[in-house]
Homo-oligomer: A and B are copies of this chain.
């Protein structure tokens, strides 16, 4: 993947800073418009914007409407594809575990972010807490989890594994 002549994954370019500044501008404009928290994201492929997003949790009453998720959903709609392979996600803040996992599912090639999870914590957001929780064994987490009926669910997975027209993702 190359942006403006970037030749290795660790390198950053003027284009990276330009797209990341756009994500930061979206974090500010979304906040000012009372869309939600101060977070913005931009998804770029082949040097062009596929989609942008700001956090919309409180305006949409949607706890999943983080800037990155909004941008991923819009980018996939624009591309008419559930894969964003070849794309870069620019985010005004280090993605929370929900958004980072979404980036894996979306198959983006690379993430460039500005503020970190501790900066988000200082602004009142739970990103760092949720990262710590996910790293714990389920019975150590603050959110109780119980497992039941495993065989019944696995019977459905067996049907899936034998389904000839299944679409992998």
Residues on A facing B (Cβ under 8 Å): 9-10, 12, 16-17, 20-21, 24, 27-28, 31, 34, 36-38, 57-58, 60-64, 69, 72-73, 76-77, 79-84, 92-94, 96-116, 119-120, 122-124, 126, 129-131, 133-135, 143-150, 152-154, 156-157, 159-161, 163, 165-169
Contacts and interface: CB of A to CB of B under 8 A. Distances in A.
Contacts of A61: 76-77, 79-82
Contacts of A16: 146, 148
B135 A135 contact: yes
A159 B28 contact: yes
A71 to B, nearest CB: 11
Contacts of A57: 82, 105, 169
Contact of A153 (B81, B93, B131, B159): B93
A104 to B, nearest CB: 5
Given A97-B101, A168-B124, A24 B63 contact: no
Contact of A123 (B62, B69, B107, B160): B160
Contacts of A17: 148-149
